[in-house]
Amino acid sequence: MKMQYFIQGGDFSAGGRASTEVKSIIKQFNISPEKIRRIAIALYEAEMNVVAHAFKGKMDVDLRPDHIRVVFIDEGPGIEDIDKAMEEGFSTASDEVRQMGFGAGMGLPNIKRNCDEMLLSSVPGKGTRLEIKVLF
Amino acid sequence: MEKNLKFFIKELGLECKAGEELLNRVPKGAYVSDLLSDVIGKAQEDMIWITTQAHRNIIAVASLKELSAIIVVNDRKVDDDVLESADSEGVVVLSTKEAAFETAGKLYCILYDIDT
Ligand SMILES: Nc1ncnc2c1ncn2[C@@H]1O[C@H](COP(=O)(O)OP(=O)(O)OP(=O)(O)O)[C@@H](O)[C@H]1O
Ligand SMILES: [Mg+2]
């Protein structure tokens, strides 16, 4: 089963909508609550990174009997140093975004902790691609 | 007596803003933070979350982590549309005039039976 969602950069009031929708869809399948929780957390963090850091993006969901694979592709500033971005506490979030409680630099580490495979790549100045896979 | 949310509301003088029908929940511990990803990473299921944040993303975080309730401190106003989304997501939102330190201190004493 495949689904696609559009994510608008900077739109914090809609932020989280796509991942919330996917969560309610996968709940209808025979997937353990623990897996659903992990998937929902990883997708929320990834979606909010597009909202907080990029201009716009899309999320492609591929749901299979034994795994879920979700790919986020955005147009935005991209990431100069992937290793650094993966460090707990590293954040380039603006003051405005920080005031809302984003910018702990915990999002990417949270994604890593909650999925089985994570692939992050980026072309600075163009955009970012993040692939998340969770096995059932 | 079982210390459910109703009990904490009475003891701490909290106001229930959303999730009125879910106050039989029995919280297990609490976490204080204004950083959403910190809460996602560190808070555990059934905890109370004490924060000054009052915008709609706190509802998504509480729902994701299946937290017992959010206590919004410092009399921060929570907008009606945020409360509506809390109601539909099954998130309890409580409010207090006090600051995070006082709220956490009192909650700690009650949770762990410490006399003050
Ligand atoms: N989609 C993206 N586009 C551009 N930069 C990104 C993207 N995702 C992450 N980054 C970069 O990686 C850094 C770390 O991301 P991470 O999600 O760990 O923390 P954060 O988003 O800054 O804060 P938090 O997620 O804790 O609210 C970001 O501050 C940003 O510099
Ligand atoms: Mg992030």
- What pLDDT band is residue A92 in, cutting at 50, 70 and 90? very high
Mutate to test the interface with B, among A24, A27, A36, A44 (most CBs of B within 10 A): A44
Q: Determine whether the interchain pair A110/B60 forms a contact, defined as Cβ–Cβ distance below 8 Å.
A: no
Tokens linked to A17: 């909508």
Prediction ipTM score: 0.92
What CATH number is given for A2-135 in this structure? 3.30.565.10
Please state, in angstroms and as integers, the Cα–Cα distance from residue A129 to each residue in A3, A13, A76, B39, following that order. Answer: 17, 23, 10, 25
β-pairing, A56-63 vs A67-75, is antiparallel
| pLDDT per residue as tens digits for the range B49-107 | 999 999 999 999 999 999 999 999 999 999 999 999 999 999 999 999 999 999 999 99
Beta carbons within 10 angstroms of residue B66's beta carbon: 15
- What pLDDT band is residue A13 in, cutting at 50, 70 and 90? confident
Residue A76 pLDDT: 97
Domains in chain B: ranges and CATH: 5-111 (3.40.1390.20)
Give the environment of ion ligand 2: residues with CB less than 5 A: A 49, 107
Residue B97 pLDDT: 98
Residue A15 pLDDT: 78
3-state secondary structure of B70: strand
